[in-house]
A and B are shown apart, each in its own frame.
Chain A
Amino acid sequence: MDEFAVEMRDVVKIFPTPEGGEVAAVNHVTLQIKHGEFFSMLGPSGCGKTTSLRMMAGFEWPTEGEIYIDGTAMGRTPPYLRTVNTVFQSYALFQHMSVFQNVAFGLEMEHVPKKEIEHRVRDALEMVKLSGMGRRKPKQLSGGQQQRIALARALVKRPAVLLLDEPLGALDLKLRKEMQLELKALQKEVGITFVYVTHDQEEALTMSDRIAVMSQGKVLQIGTPVEIYERPNCRFVADFIGETNFLKGRVKKTDEDLLTVELLDFPREIKGVGQGNLAVGQEVSISIRPEKVRLEDDINDDTAPYKDSDNLLRGRVLTTAYVGSDTRIIIDIGHNISLIVWEQNHISTLDPQAYYTAEDKVVIHLPFENTLVLPEG
């Protein structure tokens, strides 16, 4: 067994455009997916995630580079000779077959004996909690049930890698959340490598062992959900995963991990943790997550708790939205810039004084380690 379940080495995929041009859907992508891993490819539509998945499945062939499955170069191997199976966004169930026949199809193709097929199909349907549905037609089942059949149909083949192309995209939010946890549990149970394509960052964070964030055909960052969220390596990743505030600036000084950045919109220096190699003079974005700042009343005297800090921004509350677990506050810091801050409501009270309201003068305190200095991109 090779070290990696799937490997993309410098893969390029070029499609012709209807206008006669060319577009690189996947642009020099290199990544390694480990055995038994739940690996997500995350990005906006057109970022190349689905094309990458389709190349692993064998529906498309790379223009350049190579894809390895369990150490074997795939080249132009057709889908039916690959040890991977796919769960399609549209489910792609065979409407003219019963549920049983759908799940049995892949085993028939392998010429598995009839008795064993029956046995394995029954197990697979049980695994996705659809026992006893074998004789129905796919049309008679709900969207969530059809999704499970698609899953059973792929898993019954015991593939080395299961490829999932936005499999929950068509389900409503509640069912989606349920299925996310179920899929994750199922993956741990069967121990098969999952490659999961999604544009839903929350879904990727919930389920994945590791995530590759993609944009415009390139992989921007690969890491665990924590790494991706807490230490994004560029502005795009910070923006795409979760919510954040950006301030534009230029690097003024670098001492070890701590960078001093001069803001571009108004004269002010902010210190923060840099990601990647940032040089003095380089234009950067400062990313401040709304839940990672501290808000204080702006009281102008020596007892103010923030008087010794220097990463401060002063502002005026524009609006607030109470959403239960926290209150979302939009703060105008002047120069046509406003920041969003989430204050956790960790004290239960009806006292209106305990909550910020419009026009309150506030000080936003940015802890160094929560203030990320990121390259553009």
Chain B
Amino acid sequence: MSEKKPALWLRIFSFLVYVYIYLPILILIVFSFNTQKLNIRWEGFTFKWYEVLFNDSNVMLATRNTLLIAFISTLVATVIGTMAALALQRYRFPGYALTESVLYIPVIIPEVVMGISLLAFFALIKFQLGLVTITLSHIAFNIPFVALVVRARLHGFDKSIEEASMDLGANELTTFWRVTLPTIMPGVLSGAMLAFTLSLDDYVITYFTAGPGATTLPLRVFSMV
């Protein structure tokens, strides 16, 4: 690869794109230190709003819930998503094409649809809405994302390394832990990171599956706007 510099217009254009993406966030951060409550005019520097935030027990509870849900749903979705990706890579079975396409539907369908259907489902089986239903829902929409990312990593996976491992005396389980998993780990980690991010700021599906008592940070913030 040659290391030549991009053209001037390309650099200016790229710079403007970054401004467009990050300037609003930057302004928000700056104005969070503003003494004036309305973010229109800069009046003076203060930490007051942060004090208010950390003393608001509702916000803190919502934050804790959000992190807990994100953590658990990421963990479970990563395990299941990785297993699904491995199975689709390794086996051919009747209904393969259907299984493959159905797995990715949650990625495409509108969140509202998924939220309502999950709500209807929990209502149908008379499951009390709360943190558990939010977590279950997050697991459900995270699985396909993890599976998608892990499958991309598995593309071009050399099956012979697993054979080599067994050839050298490792049984199936040892082969998975010592050879297969470390090899696909980058894919598993990026899948998990994606799942974690999606869970952290999900609003729509959480809104439908939260129930009266449970709240997460996105829900809390929306209710305060």
A and B: interacting chains: yes
**A contact set with B: CB distance below 8 Å:** 57-59, 78-80, 84-86, 88-90, 92-96, 105-106, 109-110, 153-154, 157
Known contacts A94-B179, A96-B182, A80 near B160 by CB under 8 Å: no
Query: In whole angstroms, what is the CA distance A153 to B179 when docked?
Result: 15
Contact of A78 among B168, B171, B178, B182 (CB under 8 A): B171
Query: In whole angstroms, what is the CA distance A86 to B161 when docked?
Result: 11
Contact of A90 among B158, B178, B179 (CB under 8 A): B158
Provide the residues of chain A in CB contact with B178, threshold 8 Å: 105
Contact of A85 among B158, B167, B174, B185 (CB under 8 A): B167
17 CB-based A-B contacts, threshold 8 Å: A58-B167, A59-B166, A78-B171, A79-B166, A86-B164, A88-B164, A92-B158, A92-B160, A92-B164, A94-B164, A94-B182, A94-B183, A105-B165, A105-B168, A109-B168, A109-B169, A154-B168
Given contacts A90-B160, A106-B169, A153-B164, 4 further A-B contacts (CB under 8 A): A59-B167, A80-B166, A92-B163, A157-B168
Contact of B167 among A79, A94, A110 (CB under 8 A): A79
- The minimal Cβ–Cβ distance linking A207 to chain B, given in whole angstroms, is 22
User: Which residues of chain B (144-188) have a CB below 8 Å from chain A?
Assistant: 158, 160-161, 163-171, 174, 178-179, 182-183, 185
- The minimal Cβ–Cβ distance linking B87 to chain A, given in whole angstroms, is 20
Known contacts A95-B183, A96-B183, A109 near B170 by CB under 8 Å: yes
A80 touches B171 (CB 8 A): yes
Known contacts A79-B163, A88-B160, A153 near B182 by CB under 8 Å: no
- The minimal Cβ–Cβ distance linking B178 to chain A, given in whole angstroms, is 8
Provide the residues of chain B in CB contact with A78, threshold 8 Å: 166, 171
A80 touches B164 (CB 8 A): no
Query: In whole angstroms, what is the CA distance A157 to B185 when docked?
Result: 28
Contact of A86 among B167, B174, B183 (CB under 8 A): B167
- The minimal Cβ–Cβ distance linking B187 to chain A, given in whole angstroms, is 13
Q: Which residue of A lies closest to B179 (CB)?
A: A94
Query: In whole angstroms, what is the CA distance A95 to B158 when docked?
Result: 11
Chain B interfacial residues counted at CB < 8 A:
18
Provide the residues of chain B in CB contact with A96, threshold 8 Å: 182-183, 185
Q: Which residue of B lies closest to A85 (CB)?
A: B167
Provide the residues of chain A in CB contact with B185, threshold 8 Å: 96
B171 touches A88 (CB 8 A): no
A80 touches B183 (CB 8 A): no
Provide the residues of chain B in CB contact with A110, threshold 8 Å: 169
Known contacts A90-B158, A96-B182, A80 near B170 by CB under 8 Å: yes
Query: In whole angstroms, what is the CA distance A89 to B158 when docked?
Result: 11
Query: In whole angstroms, what is the CA distance A96 to B167 when docked?
Result: 18
Provide the residues of chain B in CB contact with A84, threshold 8 Å: 167
Contact of A59 among B163, B169, B170 (CB under 8 A): B163
Q: Which residue of B lies closest to A109 (CB)?
A: B169
- The minimal Cβ–Cβ distance linking A192 to chain B, given in whole angstroms, is 15
A92 touches B169 (CB 8 A): no
Provide the residues of chain B in CB contact with A157, threshold 8 Å: 168-169
Q: Which residue of B lies closest to A78 (CB)?
A: B166
Query: In whole angstroms, what is the CA distance A157 to B169 when docked?
Result: 9
Provide the residues of chain A in CB contact with B170, threshold 8 Å: 80, 105, 109
Query: In whole angstroms, what is the CA distance A180 to B163 when docked?
Result: 25
- The minimal Cβ–Cβ distance linking A55 to chain B, given in whole angstroms, is 13
Provide the residues of chain B in CB contact with A85, threshold 8 Å: 167-168
Query: In whole angstroms, what is the CA distance A80 to B168 when docked?
Result: 6
A57 touches B167 (CB 8 A): yes
Provide the residues of chain B in CB contact with A95, threshold 8 Å: 183
Query: In whole angstroms, what is the CA distance A106 to B183 when docked?
Result: 18
Provide the residues of chain A in CB contact with B169, threshold 8 Å: 80, 106, 109-110, 157
A106 touches B168 (CB 8 A): yes
Provide the residues of chain B in CB contact with A154, threshold 8 Å: 167-168
Q: Give 9 closest A-B pairs by Cβ, nearest first.
A: A109-B169, A106-B168, A92-B164, A92-B160, A79-B166, A96-B182, A86-B167, A92-B161, A88-B160
- The minimal Cβ–Cβ distance linking B129 to chain A, given in whole angstroms, is 43
Provide the residues of chain B in CB contact with A106, threshold 8 Å: 168-169
Q: Which residue of B lies closest to A103 (CB)?
A: B168
Query: In whole angstroms, what is the CA distance A106 to B167 when docked?
Result: 8
Query: In whole angstroms, what is the CA distance A157 to B166 when docked?
Result: 13
Provide the residues of chain A in CB contact with B166, threshold 8 Å: 58-59, 78-80
Query: In whole angstroms, what is the CA distance A154 to B164 when docked?
Result: 9
